[in-house]
Copies of this chain bind each other. A is one copy, B any other.
Amino acid sequence: MQLDETDKKLLLFLQQDCKQTTKELSYKLGLSITAVYERVRKLENNGVISKYVAILDKTKIDKNFVILCHVKLTQHKKEYVLRFEKEVMTLDEVTECFHVSGDYDYILKICVKDMEDYRNFMLTKLTTIQHIASTQSSFTISEVKNTTELVL
């Protein structure tokens, strides 16, 4: 995918606020409305822009208790790995899950209301998945940075 400087700037703007009109963007980029329109459409069609979403404020919807949970499996048989991943994907509280190298197999980011909610999540959802050897939870004291923006 060949992106020129204008495309990169455009993508930065859209990652900050995708509700800007083509008119506003054309002004910021020094191009005509049509030119910007065509570029956006190209970036959508070739999949560089995958979607447009609303970002909610976790503190206002009772999801402000964030935990990073490190999981080890008992074995790394393909069957166990696929089973674990499939089940994790269905858990709404898990917003991110990475299969990683190193001391653990997976690192999960979990968003819940409070400690009670987390305890409940662990007991009734996460640890009911088969073949988990151990979990280690790191509770978030503060969120220093959390952005969806990738700088090009």
Interface residues of A (CB under 8 A from B): 1, 3, 11, 14-19, 46-58, 60-61, 63, 66, 68, 85, 88-89, 92-104, 106-107, 111, 136-152
Q: What residue of chain B has the Cβ atom nearest to residue A16's Cβ?
A: B53
Whole-angstrom CA separation of A48 from B144 in the bound complex: 20
A-B residue pairs in contact (CB < 8 Å), sample of 16: A11-B56, A17-B51, A17-B52, A17-B53, A19-B52, A46-B60, A47-B57, A49-B55, A61-B150, A68-B107, A95-B149, A95-B150, A98-B141, A101-B138, A102-B136, A102-B139
Determine the chain B residues whose CB is within 8 A of the CB of A56 once the complex forms: 11, 15, 48-50, 150
B54/A14 in contact, CB under 8 A: yes
